[in-house]
Amino acid sequence: MNTSIVIALVTVALLFVCVFAGVHISFTLMSLSFVGLFLVTSNLSTALSVLSTTAFNAIRTYTYCVIPLFMLMGTIMAVSGSAGDLFKWAHKMLEKVPGGLAAATVIGNAVFAAVTGVSVASATVFSQVAIPEMRKYKYDSNFATGIVCGSSNLGMIIPPSLFFIVYGTVAQVSIGQLFVGGVLPGILMAIIFIIYTSIYGTRHPAAIGLDPVTRKPLYEDPDPKGKLESTLRALPIVLLIIVVLGGIWGGYVTPTEASAIGCLGAFIIALCKRSLTWKSTGSILLDTSKGSAGILMLLVSAQMYSRLLSVSGAVKWVSTSILSANLPNWALIGVFLLLVLALGCVIDGNSIILLTTPIIQPVIQAMGYNQVWWGVILVMAVCIGQITPPFGTIVFACKGVLGDIVDVATIFKHALPYIVLMLLTIAICMIFPQIILFLPNMMMS
C-alpha cells in the first residue's frame, strides 16, 4: 500500500468523523479533497487545477437542470393541494372497502410520489390531509401515522426521485433508466403495504374504524357521492404523470425535457385551481432555489472527492482487496446493505449515497451486477433510514405537523412494520432482478 492510498483512506476516516460530528457534508468533502490532493500530488497548483476542473465539469451540462425543475414541479404540486385531490379520489374509489382509507393513503402517496420526488414533502402533506380524515373515520391515530410514514417513502422510489438523480449523477448511470427502473419496485412496495394494512385491519378492526363486534363502520360518510367529481379533479395530475414518465420511458423526451414539461404542467394545473398567489409563487421559487443549490453543492463536492479517491488509487485498491477476499457475491451485497442501513440511522440519504457510491460502485461493477439494478436497491435501502430512529426525517416531519397528537417514540414504533416490509421488497427485487430491469431493458430496446 503506497502513501497516496494511505492518505486517501485517512481522509475517508476523517470524512465519517466530520459527518458524525455534524460538520456540513459539502464543506467536509471539499476541504478533504483539497488537502488530500495537495498531499498526494505535493503540488498546490496541481491540486487547485484538478479540483477547479472537476468542479466545472461536474455541473456544466444542462442535464443537471433536472434537479431544480423536478423540485419546482413537486413544490408547485404540494402547494396546489394536489395531494388532497389524489387522496379524496382514492378514498371515494375505495370507500366501500374495509380499511379503504388506509389503502387510499398508500395509493395517494404512490401517485403523489410521481410528481414530487421528495419523501419529506409527501409526509408533510399527507400528515395534513390523510391523518385528520382517518381520525374522523375513527381510525387509530397511531396506525394512521404509521401508514403515512411508511407510504411516504414511495416518494423516493417512484420517479422522479431525488435520490435517483443524485445516484445517477455520482455513479454516471442513466437517470432515465433509474427512473423507469424504480416504477415496478415502487408499485410492488405499495401493494405490499396495502396487503399489510388489510391484514392488520382484519385482525384489529378498531384500528380501521370498525366496531370490533359488528364490524360495521363507527362513522358513516354523510356524502357518499362525489366519485365523478373527485375523479375529474385528480385526472389532470394523473395525465401529467403519464406524460412525464411515459415520455421518458418511451424515449420521446429526456429526463431534463420531461422535468421542464412537468413544471409547465404543474404550473397550469395550479393556475386552473387558482391555488397560486404572488406570495406563494415567490415562496415556491425561493424554496426550490435553496433546495436545488444545496443538492448541486453536494454533487460538486462529491465529484471532487471521487477525483481524490481515483487519483490516489484508493478506489482500485479497495475494489481489489474486497474481491480478493473471495466472499460470495450475496455476502458482499449483504455487507454493503448493512452498512447503508447503519448509516441511515445517523445521516441523511443524500450523504449516504455520496459517501458510499465512489467506493462501493466499482466493486458492484467488478462483480458483474447491473448498475441500474444496484442503484434502485441502494435507494430502497437508503429510504429505510428515513423512518429509523433516532433521526428519521419522515417521522419528525409527521411529528411537526401532528404536534401533541402522537409522540415521536410511538411514531417510530408504528413505522417499524414498514421497515420490515421495505426489507421484504428489497429481498424480492434481489431474488427477481427483472422487477427492476424489465422496464429499463424495454426502454433500451
**Confidence (pLDDT) at 58:** 66
Residue matched to cell numbers 455534524? 22
Residue 284 has pLDDT above 90, yes or no: no
Percent pLDDT > 70 in the chain is: 96
Measured N-to-C along each axis, helices 119-136 and 100-116 cross at an angle, to the nearest 10 degrees, of 160
Residue 288 has pLDDT above 80, yes or no: yes
If one compares 235 and 218, the residue with the highest pLDDT of the two is 235
- Among 26-30, 116-120, 185-189, 202-206, which stretch is predicted with the lowest mean pLDDT? 116-120
Residue 193 has pLDDT above 70, yes or no: yes
% helix, strand, coil for the chain, step of 5: 80, 0, 20
- Backbone region of residue 350 per phi and psi (left: phi > 0; alpha: psi in -120 to 50; beta: other values): alpha
Q: How many CB atoms lie within 10 A of CB 326?
A: 6
Which of helix, strand or coil describes residue 210?
strand
**Confidence (pLDDT) at 225:** 60
Percent pLDDT > 90 in the chain is: 19
Cell numbers at residue 272, please? 386552473
226-252 exposure pattern, b = at least 16 Cβ within 10 A, e = fewer:
eeeebeebbebbeebbebbbebbbeee
Cell numbers at residue 267, please? 404550473
- Among 117-121, 125-129, 410-414, which stretch is predicted with the lowest mean pLDDT? 117-121
Q: Helices marked H in 385-407 — which ranges? A: 393-402
Cell numbers at residue 238, please? 394523473
Residues 400-419 have pLDDT tens digits of 888 877 888 888 899 999 99
Residue 12 has pLDDT above 80, yes or no: yes
Residue 220 has pLDDT above 70, yes or no: no
**Confidence (pLDDT) at 222:** 58
CA atoms within 13 A on the CB side of 369: 22
Residue 382 CA to residue 373 CA, distance in Å, equals: 14
428 — pLDDT class (breaks 50, 70, 90)? very high
How confident is the prediction for the chain on average, in pLDDT? Answer: 85
**Confidence (pLDDT) at 337:** 93
Q: Which of 295, 267, 292 is nearest to 281 (CA)?
A: 267
Residues 253-267 have pLDDT tens digits of 888 888 899 889 989
**Confidence (pLDDT) at 1:** 64
